[in-house]
A and B are shown apart, each in its own frame.
Chain A
Amino acid sequence: GQNIDQPTEMTATEGAIVQINCTYQTSGFNGLFWYQQHAGEAPTFLSYNVLDGLEEKGRFSSFLSRSKGYSYLLLKELQMKDSASYLCAVRDQGRGGSYIPTFGRGTSLIVHP
């Protein structure tokens, strides 16, 4: 199984940059996802990393270091609508070669004016 750790809550100012960290321990690693979840809504996919390095997508970037079991999600030019929970999910190989994503508890980001 996995042990996924991310901060419970973070606050930031509109227009600023925030970095949300995720550390994990797993065997059979096969990718790391970041999802955004607004209160009362479904999680929506943000990014996917399977190789080391930085993946950039608009205001959001995600970084992965497999050797360190570490990832971060970087949000630039924060907007009020970015206030949400950010879920780190690690996928590893399960039984029969299947691939199962396991979620961390999520980081609640509060963006204030």
Chain B
Amino acid sequence: EAGVVQSPRYKIIEKKQPVAFWCNPISGHNTLYWYLQNLGQGPELLIRYENEEAVDDSQLPKDRFSAERLKGVDSTLKIQPAELGDSAVYLCASSTGTPSTGELFFGEGSRLTVL
């Protein structure tokens, strides 16, 4: 079974430029998460999707960040314009969404460097 796939793995951009990250979750996982992870810190939730509906997006800086999950499968996270402080690893995770266990399966992340 394929895991969570993210691209690109690495991205270096100048500040004020736009950037987009793509995530394909594990097949059948209806819940998708975008997390941001700074060096030496734990992942911080940006947004969570239940199928195509965005829920729990209170931590998403909506002035510059946007996300979508059309058709309830893969998802994109966009930053426009990027700032120096956005340099981090952007992790995508998926789960079945059932509370019995419902552990998260993470992709390898997209490491963003803003110069």
Q: Which residues of A contact B (CB under 8 A)?
A: 4, 30-31, 33, 41-45, 48, 87, 89, 91, 94-96, 98-106, 108
Contact = CB atoms under 8 A, between A and B. Distances in A.
B55 A95 contact: yes
Contacts of A95: 55-56
Q: How large is the interface on B (under 10, 10 to 19, 20 to 34, 35 or more residues)?
A: 20 to 34
Interface stretch (B38-46, B62-70, B74-82): B38-46
Contact of A102 (B41, B45, B101): B45
Interface of B: 4, 35, 40-45, 48, 50, 55-56, 91, 97, 99, 101-109
B41 A94 contact: no
A30 B99 contact: yes
Contacts of B40: 105-106, 108
Contacts of B41: 105-106
